[in-house]
Amino acid sequence: AQKITQTQPGMFVQEKEAVTLDCTYDTSDPSYGLFWYKQPSSGEMIFLIYQGSYDQQNATEGRYSLNFQKARKSANLVISASQLGDSAMYFCAMRGGADGLTFGKGTHLIIQP
């Protein structure tokens, strides 16, 4: 069975600061993928970034980067230079095999001016 743990229910960050959202995972699959999604108050799920378990380099997408530490089973999301529009729920998720995604409970990020 797969499990995703997000230990930060909520975070307050000052605008323009960098943010790190924590995610740890557990799986017995040797091949897996890790995802981060943003869910604003409007409810849509916005794909941010993907990291494959065999990828040698950490994934980056614009202001988003994924700090992948395989031995520690962690896949933290880093948002550089945070903006007010970054305020939202953030979900870490995992995919193993041919299945859908297993999600963590999420972190509610609030960016303060």
Partner 1 sequence: SAVISQKPSRDICQRGTSLTIQCQVDSQVTMMFWYRQQPGQSLTLIATANQGSEATYESGFVIDKFPISRPNLTFSTLTVSNMSPEDSSIYLCSVEDQGLASYEQYFGPGTRLTVT
**Closer residue to partner 1 (CB): 33 or 67:** 33
Among 27, 88, 91, 94, binds partner 1 (CB under 8 A): 91
Helix, strand, coil content of the chain in percent (nearest 5): 5, 55, 45
User: Do 82 and 33 touch, CB atoms closer than 8 A?
Assistant: no
Token reading at 5: 């743990």
Task: Report the chain's terminal Cα–Cα distance, integer Å.
Answer: 41
Residues 14-53, mask of contacts with partner 1 (x by CB under 8 A): -------------------x-x-x-----xxx-x--x-x-
Provide, rounded to whole angstroms, the least separation between the CB of residue 46 and partner 1: 8
State in angstroms the smallest separation of the CB of 103 from partner 1.
5
